[in-house]
Amino acid sequence: MSVSKAPDVIWNGPFKAELQELYNIWIMNEDRMEWTKNGNRRPASMDVYLEWICISWESQNCRVTVFLDRSEDNLIHCFKEHGQVPQRRSMLQDARAWLEVERWEAEEIDPDQDEENGYLSDDSFDFQD
């Protein structure tokens, strides 16, 4: 039994379908093809492949963003006003805000620091007999 996973359905399937469509157009039109001396078709050049990848990725309607500043949250299709789960965008923003607070608190707490000089003063004493 085969189980479909979210990335396969949301990203991989549509991405591969778009790549296949671009390849089919390339094959039918022969516009950017190169030929061998014997008249055989060469594979598409790396520039053509990269162009197809860029076009296929840009055509995707749902992407994951890694920007923690929330600048690309509006690009996540399922969080848009008419998307599948528009209310989840606020949950994502709340979770990111919580992570920022946790990260800030973890950076601020240093058990070896002292308010006066920045370090525990007991560590710097030299006791003489």
Same domain? For 3 and 32 the reply is yes
Same domain? For 3 and 56 the reply is yes
Q: How many CB atoms lie within 10 A of CB 92?
A: 15
How many independent structural domains does the chain possess? 2
Same domain? For 2 and 56 the reply is yes
Q: How far is CA 19 from CA 25, 31, 32, 77, 86, in A?
A: 10, 17, 16, 21, 29
Same domain? For 13 and 54 the reply is yes
Question: 0.75 cut: is pTM over it?
Answer: no
Same domain? For 87 and 44 the reply is no
Q: pLDDT 10s digit of each residue in the chain, 129 long?
A: 566 566 666 677 778 888 999 999 988 887 678 888 998 988 888 998 899 988 888 776 555 555 656 666 666 656 666 666 666 667 777 777 777 777 766 666 555 665 555 555 555 555 565
Question: CA angle, corner 31, sides to 24 and 45, nearest 5?
Answer: 75
Q: Which domain holds residue 9?
A: 1-60
Same domain? For 65 and 16 the reply is no
Q: Are 75 and 63 in contact (CB under 8 A)?
A: yes
Helices (H), 30-87: 46-58
Same domain? For 3 and 24 the reply is yes
Same domain? For 9 and 33 the reply is yes
